[in-house]
Amino acid sequence: MRKKKKHFPNQPIGILETKAADLLAKGRHKEAIEIYKQLLKKQPRSSWQAALAKAYLLRAIALANKGMYKEAVVLWENRANLCTDKACFDQYIHWLIKAGHHINATHLLMESAESLPDDVTWPLWAHIGALLLVKSQNLLDILPADAALLKHYTLIKAALDAYYREEDTTTLEFLKQIPFRSPYRDLRTILNALLIIHSDPNGANVLLKKVHKDSPYAYFAQLIQLAGESEEILLEGLSKLEHHEVSFIAHLKGWDKERMKVISMLQIAAKRDSHKALMEVVIANRLIFGEDYSRQFCMALLPSYPAGIKFYERIFGTLSAYEKNRIIALNYEQKGQSYTAERYWRSCAENLKTRIESDTAQKIAFILRHIVEMIEKRGDTDDDDVPAVLTESLALEPDDKPSYLKLIQWYQHQNDKKNYQKWIDAAIKQFPLDSEVLFLAMEAATSKKAFKKAASLAKKLLKVDPINVKARQMAKFSHLSHARKLIQFGKYINARKELEQATQFERSNQRSGVVQINQGLLELQASGFIKPKKRQAKKRIQPGLLEAQCQNGSNPKSVVPNPKSLELLQEGVQLAGGGIIGQFRVIVESKSQALETTEILPLLFPQNKRTPLPTRHEVLELVNSINTYTKEGITFLKEAVEQVKEPLLRAMKLKFSQEEILSLCQSLKNVAHQPLLKQCADRALKRWPGHPSFFYYQVYGKANANIYQVSMQDIERLKNAAEKAEANGDKRTSTMIIGFLNQFEQSLPPFLNPFDGDDFDDDANELNAIEAILDKNRLSPNELRKFMERLEEMGLDLPDFDVPLPRSSKLDKERKKR
Amino acid sequence: MKTPFDILDINEDASDKAIKKAYLQKVRQYPPERAPEQFQRIRAAFEAIMNRQQRLKYQLFHHEVPSFSTLLGRGLQIGKPQRPPKEVLIQALNQSLNNG
């Protein structure tokens, strides 16, 4: 529907003039033209005429940019009637060419050739030259016989003819005669590219890229480039091309009619974007794609499109039950339906069991492991099937380390020591030189306190992996532990050997002194100076005592410490760092051998003097040492710490950072030294008042780690501290406090739990629940009384119990009041 | 659908040794510093089929939905390239002059 022209008959000239100028400025040329035309009808003003000419030109350019060349030509000619200048004359000629007025354009170009610059006329001549080749032979008649274009036209035509005849040398000879300034310069480049497009596609591409984007041959060059693009780009490009262009590409690629049909089918299938369409195209054109390729392609498609199994079987033959199950299993896996996929994989394994191929066992093993992987992905780590499936897989194919590791981990997690060890042994048998397996075996031996075995495994591991620090530490620890065991049984000769071996695993610059302390302690016992507390070793200790007696010729009790043992002990203390750490190590190592420290410490540390104030570094080293012993599972660390308590408390006045004090408190909590923990926390709170962690440690220490000893006020304050820590982003502290508080909350039966809103009426159940708590926590009568009082304070109505509970006067008074 | 065998240009019954040889040859052709993407593809293909176990696992569990483009690649690659005849070239040139 055509738009109605706007008329402004009654409007004053001034308003119309302003409006026209405004429309012209806004690019609304068509409306501006209308108003200026009306204005000129009223008055022939030169300014309006110039404005109308400008509007015509701008509108012509806008239309030409939209490809409306005929309209652009008309408008340019309208403008020419209004003024004498020939603005955008070259563009006008170009529009004439594009509008099909070739003869007119050629005439104008010849006439104005001298007035227009060469760089403007060259693309126009190039276009006329191209037209001469493709359709406008009549132009030949209007060109003068001596025109350069005609000469070059003859050369390019000869080159093209030679190209069609596949006479490449002749083609090249003609092309060489075409000069750089020729309008056929770009076609020359394109022909050169076509000559090498199959032998040197990259070289052809380089040539094609030389064609300037403003050249009339630019689009043709791009078309040829498309032939060398990837499949996706090519197919997409083909869909946008005209028939002749597709045909041109088809020739360059060597596609015959059959293949063109396949390509058009692929184009349609691409639009449908379905597996079914894809399978249909492949099967319909399997002769072109090749039988094997088509079969493989469809087979690969089936897990995504299992509905196509029947279609596939009709064409390529029946699939085995195993294959069908495998396809369906993969399909369910793809859809994320792990349980169903697992069922089909199990069917696959069953199907395979009936086969007698060489790789059947391996295939079943792989499928079983795949099932375990799916179980793991689901997060069903406690699935009881896991060990059975893995065991079956290893029976079929034993060479799979991850399966052994999974089994070991599984049994470790289940705390099934027997099976854990069984699979450690099996893994070691299968992979005797694997560092990961050796390390696991070493850990297992250590946890079983089979130190001799652990040390031997550590040696093997260090042969495989000489820089394994953990193995080195473990080897040293194993030898040390084994030596302690031997010392306890009085086997001093063997113990010396073990300690000697332990020294080999210490780096000279990282000696902790532990080995030397143990050597010193050994010598003290061997010389009979000191005996272990445990007398059960008395019988076995005979060889050692004999050794001492032989050396000294006297009763062991009267033996004085020999200089060698003292030297070793002093060396150990020095290596440990002296002072408080040395003392602590001697205490722990002595206790490890069941020796009385009161008999040993005076030999090394003067008892009449006060232990010097430890340095900050020494305290931190002590914390490290406590942590290491905790990890080793030493159980008497509380007593050992008690013996260094005094200098440790004095050292609290040193300038420790908050982190350092926190680490000390945590270590004290780990060794369950609650009084010292409280004292440390008290002092830390003076420095950092209200700090949630220190407050927690203070309460924890004060209550002796027993939540029932914590007052209700402190419980409330702990809750606040947890909230404060949470707000400060200190997740660790908040979790720690909540964990402690939960011990209280979780141990309450629901009707006593202030955090649980459920009501219970059954008194028998309530009583059973209370009794269960009392049994579980073994509260003393006083603790029980306090517990009851606290519950009353919390506002809980306690049921009447028949059990005789100790009552406080306060509780009785409260009850009477009620 | 380019399988690891296609990527390494080897037969499906190739031995471990042949696979390794083909892999090294490809790596020389596409070294990681010059063609990192191709190298990644080659490396992944090699790892998928480097030994019998891997090949068996690939056969059992590998599933890549064959893409349209791989089929297209196959469809568009087949055919012997030719020189376009005169009419075809002129018509294409004419068409491109109109479109350009």
The residue among A783, A790, A776, A777 whose CA lies nearest residue A805 is A783
Q: What is the mean pLDDT of residues B75-89?
A: 77
Residue A225 sits in the same domain as residue A264: no
**A428 occurs within a structural domain:** no
**A461 occurs within a structural domain:** no
Lookup result for tokens 């000696």: A511
**DSSP state string for A127-186:** HHHHHHHHT-TTHHHHS-TT-HHHHHHHHHHHHHHHHHTT-HHHHHHHHHTS-TTSTTHH
Cβ of residue B53 closer than 8 Å to a chain A Cβ: yes
Report CB contact under 8 Å: A216, B97: yes
Which chain B residues touch A230 with a CB distance below 8 Å?
Answer: 73
Interface of A with B in 182-211 (CB under 8 A): 194, 197-198
Cβ of residue A269 closer than 8 Å to a chain B Cβ: yes
Residue A301 sits in the same domain as residue A218: no
Report CB contact under 8 Å: B92, A297: no
pLDDT of residue A535: 42
The residue among A588, A601, A582 whose CA lies nearest residue A636 is A588
Q: CB burial class (10 A; 0-12, 13-18, 19+) of residue A382?
A: exposed
What does the pLDDT look like over A482-523, one tens digit per residue? 888 888 888 888 888 888 888 888 776 677 788 888 888 888
**DSSP state string for A434-456:** -HHHHHHHHHHHHHTT-HHHHHH
CA-to-CA distance for A529 and A312, rounded, in angstroms?
A: 90
Cβ of residue A146 closer than 8 Å to a chain B Cβ: no
Cβ of residue A252 closer than 8 Å to a chain B Cβ: yes
* Candidates A234, A254, A282; nearest CB to B80: A254
**A655 occurs within a structural domain:** no
Chain B: closest CA distance from residue A279 (Å): 10
Handedness of CA A761, A767, A768, A772 (dihedral sign): positive
Cβ of residue A366 closer than 8 Å to a chain B Cβ: yes
Please tell me which residue of chain A has the smallest CA distance to B75: A289
CA-to-CA distance for B34 and A333, rounded, in angstroms?
A: 37
pLDDT of residue A26: 84
End residue of a domain, out of A69, A86, A103 = A86
pLDDT of residue A560: 67
Choose the mutation target among B55, B70, B95 for the interface with A, i.e. most A CBs under 10 Å.
B95
Residue A309 sits in the same domain as residue A229: no
The residue among A112, A153, A156 whose CA lies nearest residue A136 is A153
**A739 occurs within a structural domain:** no
pLDDT of residue A7: 56
Cβ of residue A102 closer than 8 Å to a chain B Cβ: no
Give the count of alpha carbons within 13 A of A270, CB side only: 18
Please tell me which residue of chain B has the smallest CA distance to A322: B60
Query: A244 near A157, Cβ under 8 Å?
Result: no
Cβ of residue A263 closer than 8 Å to a chain B Cβ: yes
CA-to-CA distance for A677 and A684, rounded, in angstroms?
A: 10
Residue A267 sits in the same domain as residue A308: yes
Cβ of residue B95 closer than 8 Å to a chain A Cβ: yes
Distance (Å) of CA A220 to CA A241, A255, A266, A556: 12, 20, 25, 111
Chain A: closest CA distance from residue B59 (Å): 10
CA-to-CA distance for A810 and A798, rounded, in angstroms?
A: 15
Cβ of residue B37 closer than 8 Å to a chain A Cβ: no
Which chain B residues touch A248 with a CB distance below 8 Å?
Answer: 84, 88-89, 91-92
**A155 occurs within a structural domain:** yes
Please report which helix (H) or strand (E) contains residue A489, including its range. none
Residue A138 sits in the same domain as residue A174: no
End residue of a domain, out of A291, A316, A341 = A316
A468-471 long-range contacts, CB within 8 A, separation 24+:
A468/A435, A468/A439, A470/A439, A471/A435, A471/A438, A471/A439, A471/A442
Q: Per the structure, how many domains does chain A have?
A: 5
What does the pLDDT look like over A538-585, one tens digit per residue? 444 444 444 444 444 444 444 567 788 888 888 888 887 778 888 888
Token pair belonging to A547: 């050794």
Token pair belonging to B71: 């089929």
CA-to-CA distance for B79 and A289, rounded, in angstroms?
A: 11
Tell me phi and psi for residue A687, to 5 degrees: -80, -40
- Per the rule left: phi > 0, alpha: psi between -120 and 50, beta: everything else, A280 is alpha
**A323 occurs within a structural domain:** no
CA-to-CA distance for A747 and A188, rounded, in angstroms?
A: 94
Token pair belonging to A166: 């596949």
pLDDT of residue A665: 93
Residue A48 sits in the same domain as residue A96: no
Residue A114 sits in the same domain as residue A187: no
Domain housing A136: 88-143
Helices A781-793 and A809-817, packing angle to 10 deg: 30
CATH number for the domain running over B4-99? 1.10.287.110
Q: What is the ipTM of this complex?
A: 0.80
CA-to-CA distance for A760 and A752, rounded, in angstroms?
A: 10
pLDDT along chain A (818 residues), means of 10: 56 81 84 83 82 86 85 83 78 84 83 78 86 79 80 90 91 91 90 89 89 87 86 77 84 81 77 82 85 89 92 93 95 92 94 86 94 89 84 93 92 90 93 90 86 86 85 84 84 88 77 84 82 54 44 48 81 82 87 81 73 84 88 85 86 86 92 90 89 92 87 88 89 89 66 46 51 57 65 57 48 49
Please tell me which residue of chain B has the smallest CA distance to A290: B74
What does the pLDDT look like over A685-732, one tens digit per residue? 988 998 999 999 999 999 888 888 888 888 888 999 999 998 888 888
pLDDT of residue A404: 95
Cβ of residue A262 closer than 8 Å to a chain B Cβ: yes
Query: A710 near A703, Cβ under 8 Å?
Result: yes
**DSSP state string for A211-231:** S-TTSTTHHHHHHHHHHTS-H
End residue of a domain, out of A143, A165, A180 = A143
Handedness of CA A125, A129, A135, A141 (dihedral sign): positive
Q: How do the domains of chain B map onto residue ranges?
A: 4-99
Share of chain A above pLDDT 70, in %: 85
